[in-house]
């Protein structure tokens, strides 16, 4: 068994209406982005659950924080078990693009996932919920 | 817009604002509260979009997402006109668990509408490529959950762009080929409405707010005189017109996200007490036969 999943996670008030008529007949739209006046127009952002990716706690550990994997690239020897821990409030996953790599369930805040790499190679992975998060594990013989 | 109106608009909480989109320009103005409801009374078709209910989310940004979604359902059911259908444009659940899908199913079954249609969000397809989603909501769909239907002369296409992701939303070869077949026999005057969770335009790629192969579908739709794309995902209103296509991003019933690029990541935003409701809402869409484009009205959560 390649994977050792140690995931712990197993009335229409007229006064409040925003009205928008889309008239797209004028063919040459020009592609200008035009943000709609939204209820968030005057929004302040007093808090956000994102944090800077904290340093990993150990040599074979990856910390997930601030919507990033830290370290983003990890090199381990074949047979090594790597542990990912989610330090964000948002859930994340560790999902390898290739078969034979790690594929975690959703990791909620504080949850961990372990995977033992039994074959050498380069494994790239993403978070399926936030696919702009990328990580790599290089497994040496 | 004169200066006084602009000032009123700047403090628009509680005010009514109308946005007119023409040729890619959005013009907003304050609507006289006594003016008659400008939403087309002669609409031949009406539907409602709700989005990003994130059932199962627990966090300070909204400590009762189920309660918020329930209010949205009640708001839809209280509309003057019963919608022909309701679209939920994805992120039904927060973690795609069977219990969360059951909860969504139970709540959406209370909607008084001709039918309820869905597209999945990435939160609905976290670790199983959308299998649980399709088991619960994929009846009558093909491929990985995409579908089309016709109503009152409008052709609706529901796309899935939350699978096989590399950075942005993704449609894939099979789905693109299916769209090509699906629209092949349609007259170019047919109004087209496309549903997807992730926007089909590059709204903010650094946060994954775009779809890497959507241009190929939009190219196929270039021959149609009116194309409207409705999406969720970004938890805020945004509109944009490109040629024959108008994109409308819907807000959420759960919690706001930052504006594009504001802050380090698209993490839930906790608003000051009492402000959350203003960031949530539902959307009515109306189509009047013979009129180019669809009328879109966003309402704050009641």
Q: Spell out the per-residue pLDDT of chain B, length 302, in tens.
A: 344 433 333 333 333 344 444 333 333 333 344 444 546 678 889 999 999 999 999 999 999 999 999 999 999 999 988 999 999 999 999 999 999 999 999 999 999 998 999 999 999 999 999 999 999 999 999 999 999 999 999 999 999 999 999 999 999 999 999 999 999 999 999 999 999 999 999 999 999 999 999 999 999 999 999 999 999 999 999 999 999 999 999 999 999 999 999 999 999 999 999 999 999 999 999 998 888 789 999 999 98
* Nearest neighbour of B165 by CB, restricted to A32, A48, A131: A131
Measured between CA atoms, the residue of chain A closest to residue B16 is A15
Option in A12, A19, A34 nearest B31 (CB): A19
Strands (E), A25-80: 33-34, 61-65, 68-70, 73-77
Tokens of B210: 């775009």
B107 touches chain A (CB under 8 A): no
With beta carbons under 8 A apart, name residues in chain B contacting A52. 264
Which chain A residue shows the shortest CA-CA distance from B203? Answer: A33
CB contact under 8 Å between B23 and A28, yes or no, is yes
ipTM metric = 0.84
Determine contact: B228 vs chain A, CB below 8 A. Answer: yes
Query: Which of B168, B241, B242, B239 lies closest to B198, judged by CA?
Result: B168
Residues contacting residue A21 through CB under 8 Å, at least 6 positions apart: B18, B19, B20, B21, B38, B293, B295, B296
Closest alpha carbon within chain B to A129: B122
The structure tokens listed for B38 are 């400008």
B271 contacts on A by Cβ (under 8 Å): 43-44, 46
- CA angle B158–B163–B167, rounded 5-degree value: 115
| Residue recorded with tokens 């190679």 | A121
The pLDDT of residue A102 is above 80: yes
Verify whether the Cβ–Cβ distance B165 to A126 is below 8 Å.
Answer: yes
Work out the average pLDDT over A24-43. 35
CA–CA dist A1, A3 (Å, integer) = 6
Best of A96, A99, A128, A135 to mutate (most B CBs within 10 Å, chain B): A128
Identify the bridge partners of residue B77 per DSSP, sorted by sequence position: none
Q: Torsion-angle region of residue A16: left (phi > 0), alpha (psi -120 to 50) or beta?
A: alpha
By DSSP bridging, strand B154-158 and strand B147-151 are antiparallel
Q: Is the omega angle on the peptide bond into residue B221 within 30 degrees of 0, that is, cis? A: no
Please judge whether B237 and A38 are an interchain contact, meaning their C-beta atoms are less than 8 angstroms apart. yes
- The residue ranges of DSSP E strands in A1-141, in sequence order, are 17-23, 33-34, 61-65, 68-70, 73-77, 81-86, 95-96, 112-116, 121-126, 134-140
Which of B96, B122, B241 has the most A C-beta neighbours within 10 Å, making it the best mutation to test the interface with A? B241
3-state secondary structure chain B: CCHHHHHHHHCCCCCCEEEEEECCEEEEEECCCCCCCCCCCCCCEEEEEECCCCECCCECCECCHHHHHHHHHHHHHCCCCCCCEEEECCCCECCCCHHHHHHHHHHHCCCCCCCEEECCCHHHCCCCCCHHHHHHHCCCCECCCEEEEEECCEEEEECCCECCCCCCEECCHHHHHHHHHHHCCCCCCCCEEEECCCCCCCCEHHHCECECCHHHHHHHHHHCCCEEEEECCCCCCEEEEECCEEEEECCECCCCCCCCCCCCCCCCECCCCCCHHHHEEEEEEEECCCCCCCEEEEEECC
Region for B203 from its dihedrals, namely left if φ exceeds 0, alpha if ψ lies in -120 to 50, beta otherwise: alpha
Strands B245-249 and B227-231: parallel
Across the interface, whether the CB atoms of B20 and A21 are under 8 A apart is answered: yes
Superfamily of domain A61-140: Cupredoxins -  blue copper proteins (2.60.40.420)
The confidence band for A2, taking pLDDT boundaries of 50, 70 and 90, is very low
Structure-block tokens of residue B97: 């668990």
Q: Which of B113, B112, B108, B68 is nearest to B90 (CA)?
A: B108
Helix (H, G, I), strand (E, B) or coil at A129: coil
Going from N- to C-terminal start, the domains of chain A cover 61-140
Token reading at B173: 């070869």
Q: Which residue of B has its CA nearest to A15?
A: B16
Residues of B (265-294) whose Cβ lies below 8 Å from A: 265-272, 275, 278-279, 281, 292-294
How close is the nearest chain A Cα to the Cα of B106, in Å? 22
User: CB B125 to CB A128 under 8 A?
Assistant: yes
In the predicted structure, residue A43 carries a pLDDT above the cut 60: no
Q: Write down how long chain B is.
A: 302
The verdict on a CB contact (< 8 Å) between A22 and B38 is no
| Nearest residue in B to A95, CA atom | B127
Going B80 to B42 to B50 to B240, the CA torsion angle's sign is negative
pLDDT in tens, B112-151: 998 999 999 999 999 999 999 999 999 999 999 999 999 9
Residue of A nearest to B27 (CA): A36
**Cross-chain Cβ contact B244/A24 below 8 Å:** yes
CB-closest option in B225, B246, B281 to A22: B246
* Facing residue for B166 by CB, picked from A17, A39, A131: A131
Q: Give the right CATH number for B42-300 from 3.60.21.10, 3.40.50.1000, 3.40.1190.20, 3.10.450.50.
A: 3.60.21.10
- Intervals of CATH 3.60.21.10 along chain B: 42-300
Which chain A residues have a beta carbon less than 8 Å from that of B52?
none
**HSE on the CB side for B195, CA within 13 Å?**
27
Beta partners for B276?
Answer: none
For residue A103, the 8-state DSSP code is B
Distance from CA of A141 to the nearest CA of B (A): 27
């Amino acid at each position: 068994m390649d994977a050792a999943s140690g995931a712990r996670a197993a009335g229409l008030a007229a006064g409040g209406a925003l009205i928008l008529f889309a008239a797209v007949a004028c063919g040459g739209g020009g592609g200008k982005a035009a943000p709609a006046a939204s209820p968030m127009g005057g929004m302040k952002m007093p808090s956000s659950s994102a944090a800077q990716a904290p340093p990993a706690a150990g040599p074979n550990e990856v910390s997930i924080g601030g919507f990033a994997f830290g370290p983003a690239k990890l090199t381990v020897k074949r047979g090594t078990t790597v542990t990912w821990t989610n330090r964000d409030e948002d859930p994340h996953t560790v999902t390898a693009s290739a078969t034979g790599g790690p594929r975690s369930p959703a990791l909620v805040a504080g949850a961990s996932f372990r995977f033992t790499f039994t074959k050498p190679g380069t494994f790239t992975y993403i978070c399926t919920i936030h696919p702009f998060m990328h990580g790599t594990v290089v497994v040496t013989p | 817009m004169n200066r006084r109106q602009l000032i009123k608009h700047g403090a628009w909480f509680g005010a009514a604002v109308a946005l007119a989109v023409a040729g890619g320009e959005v013009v907003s103005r304050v609507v006289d509260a006594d003016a008659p409801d400008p939403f087309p009374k002669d609409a031949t078709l009406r539907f409602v979009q709700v989005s990003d209910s994130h059932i199962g989310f627990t966090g300070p940004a909204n400590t009762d997402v189920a309660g918020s979604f329930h209010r949205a359902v009640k708001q839809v059911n209280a509309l003057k006109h019963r919608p022909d259908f309701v679209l939920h444009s994805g992120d039904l659940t927060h973690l795609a668990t069977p219990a969360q899908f059951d909860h969504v199913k139970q709540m959406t079954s209370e909607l008084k509408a001709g039918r309820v249609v869905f597209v999945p969000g990435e939160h609905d397809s976290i670790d199983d490529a959308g299998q649980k989603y399709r088991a619960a909501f994929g009846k009558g769909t093909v491929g990985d959950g995409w579908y089309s239907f016709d109503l009152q002369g409008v052709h609706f296409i529901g796309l899935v762009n939350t699978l096989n992701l590399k950075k942005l939303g993704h449609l894939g070869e099979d789905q693109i080929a299916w769209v090509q077949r699906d629209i092949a026999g349609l007259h170019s005057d047919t109004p087209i409405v496309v549903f997807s969770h992730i926007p089909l335009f590059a709204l903010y790629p650094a946060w994954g707010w775009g779809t890497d192969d959507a241009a190929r579908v939009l190219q196929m739709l270039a021959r149609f005189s009116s194309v409207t794309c409705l999406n969720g995902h970004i938890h805020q209103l945004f509109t944009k017109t490109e040629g024959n296509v108008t994109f409308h991003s819907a807000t959420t019933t759960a919690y706001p996200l930052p504006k594009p690029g504001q802050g380090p990541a698209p993490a839930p935003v906790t608003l000051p007490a009492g402000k959350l409701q203003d960031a949530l809402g539902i959307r009515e869409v109306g189509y009047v036969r013979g009129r180019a484009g669809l009328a879109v009205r966003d309402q704050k959560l009641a």
